Amino acid sequence: MVIGAAARVAIGGCRKLVSSHTSLLVSSQCRQMSMDAQSVSEKLRSSGLLRTQGLIGGKWIDSYDNKTIKVNNPATGEIIADVACMGTKETNDAIASSYEAFTSWSRLTAGERSKILRRWYDLLIAHKEELGQLITLEQGKPLKEAIGEVAYGASFIEYYAEEAKRVYGDIIPPNLSDRRLLVLKQPVGVVGAIAPWNFPLAMITRKVGPALASGCTVVVKPSELTPLTALAAAELALQAGVPPGALNVVMGNAPEIGDALLSSRQVRKITFTGSTAVGKKLMAAAAPTVKKVSLELGGNAPSIVFDDADLDVAVKGTLAAKFRNSGQTCVCANRVLVQDGIYDKFAEAFSEAVQKLEVGDGFKEGTTQGPLINDAAVQKVESFIQDAVSKGAKIILGGKRHSLGSTFYEPTVIRDVSNDMLMSKEEIFGPVAPLIRFKTEEDAIRLANDTIAGLAAYIFTNSVQRSWRVFEALEYGLVGVNEGLISTEVAPFGGVKQSGLGREGSKYGMDEYLEIKYVCLGDMNRH
Ligand code: SIN
């Protein structure tokens, strides 16, 4: 059973519940807070984790013109908080405070930075329930999945607390006998980290962890749709001892904040997770100041099911890869390529499994599929379905908005899809699994690579030889073989082609925040 908006108990009228610093605004123009969200919000407020101001130089600050933006619960449309709407001036101050903090933060020993990061990790884990609730409240994913995101997000802080101590340089055999040649690795400087809404915590910690570990300082811009988790995580960072200015958070006017970060000569690196279109713009805007850039952009992941696959493994793996976060991840299976001989059996078994998914409010026990982030996301899914059906695809399951209303969409399986339909070319970012038929291994590889994206791909086969042939041929940065959930802090995450630049997580993720300095010591034979 799921709780729809109608079943919720609305309380309160149009009123400000608390001070402007932690305001929960219930407006008469908007839906009133439901009992669930209300009690969760009040608990979060009393724990001090519901922050609505930006963080600049270690201080919680309103926007300079007192403007605010509203944060909605996507499951109900209700307003859950009113947060500072910051822009150019606040971002410039955040950059200045980061620049100032860089000198002392980068001069701490790796061990000192490591201890602070470890304390932050411990606090994130100690507050995993509350952080999970915040994620469900502002992003919509089921609470269990949200708490899973907290563990995943915190793991980057733990990992980089350890990795801070392993930033080794090199000594190079010299080219002349009176020289000694060294390589040092040093932090790049101030980092601008621009994060998306689909993982309100993990996409921030995956950037901030290695940045702080390597000695960089950071200005974070969370998504305007999900700033509350970022602010709570920043509060815990302060409690852990991250010094003023080393971590700043500004949110609100995205173009102004982006422009300020990109045009600043003090910001030496931009790291971004989001759409390919925005990534291209950021890359161009970073050129005049020649910043280092890491981009984790859109995907178009194929999940390739071969005739020789174990059907149960293929169904379970594709289900996990497709429906995680209701289809709203960059590594979600976007196209399910199924070989001729197993196509019908797979379609039936997969549809049966999809039918068991439980759509509902993320706070409802048993929910596995939350809402989409907003109505624009639902409209995009609808237009892709319309396009596919008009070109001959057939809906097996779902295919329309869920009866719960709001932005809930039915988990959908659609067959007879071809690689030239919109949903095969672009990221669906919703709970729709298109099944595409193929005949040979060569066809599968050609179809899989026939896209500008190259983030994640999945293969299901029982042949070791085939899996090697195919994963070597796939133009993707990540490949899962007989596995649909492959993200972990210990492995490199990132794409090829137009899915991005650089890697996050693992030892490789640290390199993105380090510059290499070569030192040549001359006249070394003198006594
Ligand atoms: C993303 O959607 O960008 C990240 C997904 C993940 O870390 O697994």
DSSP string over 220-270: EE--TTSHHHHHHHHHHHHHHTPPTTTEEE--B-HHHHHHHHHH-SSEEEE
Please tell me if the CB atom of residue 330 comes closer than 6 angstroms to any atom of ligand 1.
yes
Which is nearest to 226 in space by CA: 339, 136, 326, 314? 136
Closest Cα to residue 109, out of 246, 244, 214?
214
Q: Which active-site residues does the annotation give?
A: 296, 330
Q: Is residue 279 within 8 Å of residue 295, measured between CB atoms?
A: yes
Question: How far apart are alpha carbons 360 and 404 in whole angstroms?
Answer: 8
Would you report the helix, strand and coil content of the chain in percent, each value rounded to 5?
A: 40, 20, 35
CA of 357 to the centre of ligand 1 (A): 21
The CA dihedral of 142, 146, 148, 153, to the nearest 10 degrees, is 160
Pairing of strands 412-415, 432-438: parallel
For a ligand 1 pocket test, name from 322, 329, 490 the mutation site with the most ligand atoms within 8 angstroms of its C-beta: 329
Q: From first to last of the 527 residues of the chain, give the pLDDT tens digit.
A: 222 222 222 222 222 222 333 333 333 333 444 556 778 878 888 888 999 999 999 999 999 999 999 999 999 999 999 999 999 999 999 999 999 999 999 999 999 999 999 999 999 999 999 999 999 999 999 999 999 999 999 999 999 999 999 999 999 999 999 999 999 999 999 999 999 999 999 999 999 999 999 999 999 999 999 999 999 999 999 999 999 999 999 999 999 999 999 999 999 999 999 999 999 999 999 999 999 999 999 999 999 999 999 999 999 999 999 999 999 999 999 999 999 999 999 999 999 999 999 999 999 999 999 999 999 999 999 999 999 999 999 999 999 999 999 999 999 999 999 999 999 999 999 999 999 999 999 999 999 999 999 999 999 999 999 999 999 999 999 999 999 999 999 999 999 999 999 999 999 999 999 999 999 999 999 99
Minimal-distance CA residue to ligand 1 atom 6: 487
- CA 115/CA 345 separation, integer angstroms: 53
Sequence-ordered list of residues with C-beta below 8 angstroms from that of 208, at least 6 positions apart, any chain: 157, 193, 218, 220, 237, 247
Nearest ligand 1 atom to alpha carbon 487: 8
Q: How far is the CA of 488 from the centre of ligand 1 (A)?
A: 10
Distance CA 61, CA 55 (A): 6
Q: Whose CA is nearest to atom 8 of ligand 1?
A: 487
Ligand 1 pocket check for 499: Cβ under 6 Å: no
Ligand 1 neighbourhood includes 406 CB (under 6 angstroms)? no
Q: Say yes or no: CB of residue 199 within 6 Å of ligand 1.
A: yes
Name which residue sits closest to atom 5 of ligand 1, judged by CA: 329
| Minimum CA distance residue for ligand 1 atom 3 | 330
- Residue to probe by mutation, ligand 1, list 198, 330, 332, 427, most atoms within 8 Å of CB: 330
Nearest atom in ligand 1 to the alpha carbon of residue 273 is 3
Atom of ligand 1 nearest to the CA of 486: 8
Ligand 1 centroid vs 204 CA: distance in angstroms? 11
Structure confidence at residue 35 (pLDDT): 55
Assess whether the C-beta atom of 321 lies below 6 angstroms from ligand 1.
Answer: no
Distance (Å) from CA 329 to ligand 1 centroid = 5
Tell me the one-letter amino acid at 395.
I
